[in-house]
């Protein structure tokens, strides 16, 4: 394509001169009128034009004839719609060697073709045409909206043709509780789930019972939400919190089992980040699958000295830690990549809201997807390497990861090109556990203390503030000028100075006004 | 039992219907059958329908030229070389000229390249004339019909007018000696001197392997509405504008440079092919000549071509229903291009995309090496086969002469 563009552009660069033509367009029959004096005059004129063109660097003859013969104002090509300057297409008599002539002005009728051989039926003519520009060359919003509709429909069709066929519904399990950052995380997850093109049901398990905050955020959801209250309160210590979240997820799985909800269970923590490809990839799972999770454990951490050393010393270690399935070369699951927490054990956060890194557990729940039929009491084709859900979690048994639901963990399917593709990221970012936030993030009633902004001229300023203003003005006028607001301010202060008759300030304000003028 | 007997013929009938209705009912194939005005002919096999005799010309007409400049194999006029190679090893080739329906003269007229890679057409008429003189004196078949059953491949800008500049090309006209022959060329414009009746218009050569190497997964969403990369003003040859592309490209730029739906610029991105696959519409405006490889690229990458070239004749127009596949915009309607494109009904757009997705459509635009079935080589042969049988009137009676061997500009008569 480069070649063709270059060819198209440069195709006549060299031979224009070799063709020996100053302007190169066939002349109309006007040439016949000038035949007798033209024998001497026109070639000489032609030579003159060529010389001037060589000097000026463009085809001067065209411009000259445009100025001489055209009644229109000479103008460059764009900016307003023009008539065609049409050159009728005629067979040139080989003997004439006339320079280019733009067509005669629109007043005269176009010259008749000299020979009867001209192509009367040709609508498309060679020669200079006007460049048509419409008066308002900007997009029309209604058309833009239509274009976006077209794009959306085309993409939907692409998904139907090439994407996932017969998508199974997805059951998203999210443990949450009301806290400062809940709105941030839950709204993000909500919008991600609303973008998923497959049928979705969202099971939100809330610690501490149903709260108004959560309901308020979920009320704007377009996906069906099942809110499940959970009696216990969310603890403050991270390790206890992980355990409670596991119990909450198990509770949701029990609900799925009771109601025989059908679909693929995805564990989406509210602070995690998911890509759309994840939702397409999990459609491939048969019974239980595992995906790779990128661990963003360092995101909340300030620069610790050891980390700096580590980065300077060994660049390769700063890869993103990933938890997920490990495969051998033939694509079979042989083990698990986990996050090595030992180097950070001393600096890890214990309480929610400390400003240090939060460590994930060995295998995060969010890296696993389960076919809900695994959880049902009775299901066709249910494999026997799954423990019955009623037997799990009783008598104080702690469930750390979904692998504890299985008798045989080797039959988990690795997804995402055998774990090579990372499609979601684990992240925990929380404010202090006792931090306060306005309910539903609405400031109502209005705040009680009102403080004026520093640079706003305040009409009813109390007397002590005027001194502050004058001091500011001095700074500003010394810095730079030519802003109307400053001039008005200085005028203000000038007026005030006049009242007070302070010499220094008057001079300064005089200066400022003079400068502005 | 009786019921079972009645059901059986019904089942047979149903399966027959399934077979006849063919591809449209397979849910997995998002394509549609293509039938042009000549019928459902893209999938015809020319083998057995015609015989082609390839003249053995001295290598100065073909091999030596190619040896001097191997760049001829990669530029957009390379069809003449690849067609020769294809015919040499094709099943339609015959070594017995008496039974041949068509005669092919392998002369590479578009291989005299400048240092920049542009073909110079100044010697081409003499070369062609010399080749014709040779075949008319060595074999009797030229004189038998004065070339009416011969075909030549003339892929240059304005075909057999042998000039890159349109006025000069029109002034020269088609080489007189080729008056009766069939021309296979890339140039096509209605009512134009350089397109004679009965010519076969072919797509320009675009390198198939290069395009295959840049394919992206088909589920990548098409998020660009209109795409174009190329010149709008040719400042070297037409600094004031209005001449190049008859002002159409400049008009596109001036009207739509601020429109976010139009991804148009003069850059040469390395992701050009990938971007075309992410676009719904690809502009194919005329340049100095109305045809360009953009049409081929748009078809291969599934982007609906928006052809802005008045009276253009597109490749294989009798076999491919271009009106149903592409969008045609008159040059005077360019300022309304956004209105035109956004007002196309969505079902029409989806249908065009289905037609473009048809693999026989893409194959028909390509010149793969080695040749594959239904590719452009075969479509050329199909076109030649459709012109058979030759009428009796093409065979001249003895002594009858139609061509004037001294017609044309004096410079053409010099021997090559």
- Hey, what long-range contacts does A501-509 have (CB within 8 A, 24 or more apart)? A505/A470, A505/A474, A508/A473, A508/A474, A508/A477, A509/A473, A509/A477
* B269-285 tens-digit pLDDT: 999 999 999 999 999 99
Asked if residue A290 lies in contact with residue A412, where contact means CB atoms within 8 angstroms, the answer is: yes
Distance CA A39, CA B308 (A): 42
pLDDT value for A304: 54
**Quick check: B217 contacting A, CB < 8 Å?**
yes
Task: Give the nearest chain B residue to A137 (CA atoms).
Answer: B255
Residue from the list A127, A133, A153 with its beta carbon closest to the beta carbon of B254 = A133
Which DSSP symbol is given to B353? H
Q: Searching chain A, which residue's CA lies closest to the CA of residue B353?
A: A154
Residue A299 contacts residue A273 (beta carbons within 8 Å): no
- Residues with Cβ within 8 Å of B374's Cβ and at least 6 positions away in sequence, in order, are B42, B43, B360, B363, B364
Query: With an 8 Å Cβ cutoff, are A155 and B332 in contact?
Result: no
- Tell me the CA distances in angstroms from B168 to B117, B142, B179, B292, one per residue in order: 21, 29, 18, 20
> Sorting pLDDT into bands at 50, 70 and 90, what band is B45?
confident
What pLDDT, on a 0 to 100 scale, did the predictor assign at position A193?
A: 95
What DSSP string runs through B232-279? S--TTT-TTSSSGGGGHHHHHHHHHTT-TTEEEES---TTHHHHHTTE
Residues B298, B282 contacting (CB under 8 angstroms): yes
Q: At what angle do helices A503-516 and A463-479 cross, to 10 degrees?
A: 50
Inter-chain residue contact B117 with A6, CB threshold 8 Å: yes
CA A29 remoteness from chain centre: 60
Q: Is there a contact between A30 and A111 (Cβ–Cβ < 8 Å)?
A: yes
Of B221, B306, B308, which to mutate for an interface test with A (greatest number of A Cβ within 10 Å)? B221
Q: Write the residue in B118, B192, B229 that is nearest to A7 by C-beta.
A: B118
Show residues of chain B in contact with A167, CB under 8 Å: none
**B229, A1: Cβ pair inside 8 Å?**
yes
The pTM score is: 0.68
Q: What does residue B189 show for φ and ψ, rounded to 5 degrees?
A: -150, 130
**pLDDT band with cut points at 50, 70 and 90 for residue B347:** very high
Is B219 in Cβ contact with A163 (below 8 Å)? yes
Instruction: Tell whether the model's pLDDT for residue B405 goes beyond 90.
Output: no
The strand pairing partners of B283, in sequence order, are B306
Cβ contacts below 8 Å, chain A against chain B, sum to 195
Residue B239 main-chain phi, psi, to 5 deg:
-65, -30
Contact criterion met (CB < 8 Å) for A140 and B338: yes
The Cα B325–Cα B348 span in angstroms is: 9
Q: What sign does the CA torsion over A76, B286, A27, A90 have?
A: negative
Cα angle A448, A450, A455; round to 5: 165
Minimal C-alpha gap between A454 and chain B (Å):
39
How far apart, in whole angstroms, are the C-alpha atoms of residue B98 and residue A329?
63
Residues in B 339-358 with any Cβ partner in A closer than 8 A: 339, 341-344, 346, 349-350, 353
d(CA A258, CA B306): 57
Distances (CA, A) of A295 to A315, A339, B72: 18, 8, 55
Q: Which residues of B touch A149 (CB under 8 A)?
A: 346
> Both tokens of residue B15?
């399966």
Q: What is the mean pLDDT of residues B387-394?
A: 85
Does residue B70 have a pLDDT over 80? yes
Which of the residues in chain A have pLDDT under 50? Answer: 1-34, 72-120, 299-301, 313-316, 481-494, 496-517
Mean pLDDT of B251-272: 94
| Mean predicted confidence (pLDDT) in B63-73 | 91
B151-160 per-position pLDDT tens digit: 999 999 999 9
B308 phi, psi to nearest 5 deg: -115, 85
Nearest CA in chain B to A16: B237
Query: Tokens 């400390």 identify what position?
Result: A354
Chain B neighbors of A3, CB-CB under 8 A: 74-76, 117
Residue B191 with chain A: CB contacts under 8 Å: 119, 121-124
Question: Token pair of A363, please?
Answer: 């295998």
Contacts of A417 in chain B (CB under 8 A): none
pLDDT at res. A341: 74
Task: Kindly report which listed range (A206-215, B59-68, B98-107, B401-410) carries the lowest average pLDDT score.
Answer: B401-410
Asked if B288 and A161 come within 8 Å (Cβ–Cβ), the reply is no
User: Cβ contact (<8 Å) for A131 and B339?
Assistant: no
Phi, psi of A230 (to 5 degrees): -125, 130
Instruction: Measure A35 CA to nearest chain B CA, in Å.
Output: 21
Nearest-by-CA chain A residue for B233: A9
Name residues 31-60 of chain B within 8 A of A (Cβ): none
Secondary structure class of A436 (helix, strand, coil): coil
C-alpha triplet A179, A181, A185: angle, nearest 5°: 120
Q: Smallest Cα–Cα separation from A9: which of B292, B238, B228, B290?
A: B238
Q: Do B242 and A128 touch (CB under 8 A)?
A: yes
C-alpha angle A256/A259/A263, rounded to 5°?
50
Q: B20 CB contacts (<8 Å, ≥6 apart)?
A: none
Distance set, CA A478 to CA A395, A495, A509 (Å): 77, 19, 10
Chain B residues within an 8 Å CB radius of A118: none
- Is B346 in contact with A149 (Cβ distance < 8 A)? yes
Q: What is the ipTM of this complex?
A: 0.85
Q: How far is CA B320 from the centre of its chain?
A: 11
Backbone angles phi, psi at B102, to 5 degrees: -130, 150
User: Are the beta carbons of A158 and B339 separated by less than 8 Å?
Assistant: no
- Quick: pLDDT tens for A28-70: 444 444 456 657 888 888 888 788 888 877 766 566 666 776 5
Inform me whether the pLDDT recorded for B309 exceeds 90. Answer: yes
The tokens for B99 are 């039974």
Give the minimum alpha-carbon distance from A334 to chain B in angstroms, rounded to a whole number. Answer: 30
Measured between CA atoms, how close is A154 to chain B, in angstroms? 7
Burial A353-372 (b: 16+ CB within 10 A, else e): bbebbbbbbebbbbbbbbbb
Question: What is the three-class DSSP state of B336?
Answer: helix
- Per CB-CB distance under 8 Å, the chain A contacts of B257 are 137
B242 touches chain A (CB under 8 A): yes
Give every CB contact of residue A263 below 8 A, 6+ residues apart in sequence: A168, A169, A170, A171, A199, A201, A372
Tell me the chain B residues in contact with residue A62 when contact means C-beta distances shorter than 8 Å.
Answer: 240
């Amino acid at each position: 394509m480069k070649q063709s563009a270059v060819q198209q552009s440069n195709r006549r660069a060299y031979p224009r001169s070799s063709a020996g033509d100053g302007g190169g367009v066939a002349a109309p029959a006007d040439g016949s009128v000038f035949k007798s004096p033209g024998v001497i005059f026109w070639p000489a004129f032609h030579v003159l034009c060529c010389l001037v063109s060589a000097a000026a660097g463009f085809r001067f003859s065209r411009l000259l004839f445009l100025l001489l013969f055209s009644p229109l104002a000479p103008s460059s090509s764009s900016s307003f719609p023009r008539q065609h300057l049409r050159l009728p297409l005629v067979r040139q008599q080989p003997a004439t060697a006339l320079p280019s002539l733009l067509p005669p002005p629109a007043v005269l009728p176009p010259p008749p073709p000299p020979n009867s051989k001209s192509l009367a039926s040709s609508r498309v003519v060679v020669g200079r045409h006007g460049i048509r520009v419409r008066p308002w060359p900007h997009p029309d919003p209604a058309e833009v909206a239509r274009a976006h509709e077209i794009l959306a429909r085309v993409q939907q069709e692409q998904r139907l043709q090439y994407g996932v066929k017969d998508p199974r519904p997805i059951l998203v399990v999210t443990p949450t509780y009301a806290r400062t950052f809940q709105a941030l995380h839950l709204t993000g997850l909500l919008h991600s789930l609303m973008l998923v093109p497959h049928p979705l049901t969202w099971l939100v398990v809330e610690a501490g019972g149903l709260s108004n905050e959560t309901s308020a955020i979920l009320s704007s959801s377009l996906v069906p939400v099942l809110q499940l209250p959970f009696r216990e309160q969310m603890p403050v210590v991270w390790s206890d919190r992980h355990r409670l979240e596991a119990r909450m997820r198990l509770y949701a799985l029990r609900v799925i089992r009771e109601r025989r909800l059908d679909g693929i269970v995805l564990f989406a923590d509210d602070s995690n980040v998911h890509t759309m490809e994840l939702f397409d990839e999990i459609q491939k799972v048969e019974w239980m699958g595992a995906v790779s999770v990128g661990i963003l454990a360092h995101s909340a951490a300030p620069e610790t000295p050891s980390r700096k050393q580590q980065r300077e010393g060994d660049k390769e270690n700063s890869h993103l830690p990933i938890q997920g399935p490990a495969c051998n070369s033939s694509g079979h699951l042989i083990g698990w990549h986990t996050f090595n927490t030992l180097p950070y054990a001393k600096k890890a956060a214990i309480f929610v809201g400390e400003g240090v890194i939060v460590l994930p557990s060995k295998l995060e729940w969010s890296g696993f997807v389960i076919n809900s039929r695994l959880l049902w009491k009775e299901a066709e084709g249910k494999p026997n390497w799954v423990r019955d859900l009623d037997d799990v979690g009783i008598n104080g048994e702690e469930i750390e990861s979904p692998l504890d639901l299985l008798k045989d963990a080797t039959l988990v399917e690795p997804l995402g090109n055998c774990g090579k593709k990372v499609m979601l990221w684990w992240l925990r970012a929380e404010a202090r556990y006792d931090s306060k936030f306005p309910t539903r993030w609405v400031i109502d009633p209005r705040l009680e203390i009102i403080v004026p902004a520093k640079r706003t001229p305040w009409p009813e300023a109390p007397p002590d503030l005027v001194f502050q203003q004058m001091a500011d003005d001095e700074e500003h006028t010394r810095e730079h000028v030519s802003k109307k607001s400053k001039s008005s301010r200085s005028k203000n202060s000038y007026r005030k100075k006049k009242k007070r008759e302070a010499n220094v300030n008057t001079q300064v304000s005089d200066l400022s006004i003079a400068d502005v003028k | 039992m009786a019921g079972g007997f009645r059901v059986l013929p019904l089942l047979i009938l149903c399966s027959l219907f399934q077979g006849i209705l063919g591809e449209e009912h397979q849910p997995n194939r998002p394509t549609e059958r293509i039938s042009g005005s000549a019928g459902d002919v893209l999938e015809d096999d020319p083998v057995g329908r015609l015989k082609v005799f390839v003249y053995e010309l001295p290598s100065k007409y073909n091999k030596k030229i190619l040896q001097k400049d191997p760049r001829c194999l990669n530029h957009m006029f390379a069809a003449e070389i690849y067609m020769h190679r294809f015919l040499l090893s094709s099943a339609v080739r015959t070594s017995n000229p008496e039974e041949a329906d068509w005669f092919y003269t392998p002369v590479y007229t578009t291989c005299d390249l400048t240092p920049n890679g542009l073909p110079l057409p100044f010697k081409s008429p003499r070369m062609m004339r010399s080749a014709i003189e040779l075949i008319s004196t060595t074999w009797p078949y030229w004189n038998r019909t004065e070339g009416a059953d011969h075909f030549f491949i003339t892929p240059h800008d304005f075909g057999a007018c042998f000039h890159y500049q349109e006025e000069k090309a029109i002034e020269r006209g088609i080489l007189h000696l080729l008056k009766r022959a069939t021309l296979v060329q890339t140039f096509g414009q209605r009512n134009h001197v350089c397109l004679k009746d009965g010519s076969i218009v072919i797509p320009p050569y675009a390198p198939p392997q290069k395009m295959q190497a840049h394919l992206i997964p088909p589920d990548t969403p098409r998020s660009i509405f209109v795409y174009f990369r190329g010149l709008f003003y040719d400042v070297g040859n037409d600094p004031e504008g209005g001449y190049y592309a008859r002002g159409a490209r400049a008009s596109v730029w001036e009207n739509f440079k601020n429109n976010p739906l139009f991804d148009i610029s003069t850059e040469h991105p390395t992701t050009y092919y990938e971007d075309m696959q992410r676009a719904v519409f690809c502009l194919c405006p005329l340049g100095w000549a109305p045809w360009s490889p953009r049409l081929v690229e748009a078809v291969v990458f599934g982007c609906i071509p928006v052809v802005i070239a008045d009276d253009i004749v597109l490749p294989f127009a009798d076999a491919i229903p271009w009106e149903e596949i592409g969008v045609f915009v008159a040059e005077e309607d360019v300022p309304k291009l956004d209105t035109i494109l956004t007002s196309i009904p969505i079902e029409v757009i989806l249908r065009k995309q289905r037609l473009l997705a048809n693999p026989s459509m893409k194959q028909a635009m390509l010149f793969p090496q080695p040749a594959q079935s239904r590719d452009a080589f075969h479509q050329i042969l199909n076109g030649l086969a459709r012109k058979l049988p030759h009428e009796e009137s093409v065979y001249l009676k003895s002594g009858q002469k139609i061509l004037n061997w001294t017609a044309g500009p004096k410079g053409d008569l010099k021997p090559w």
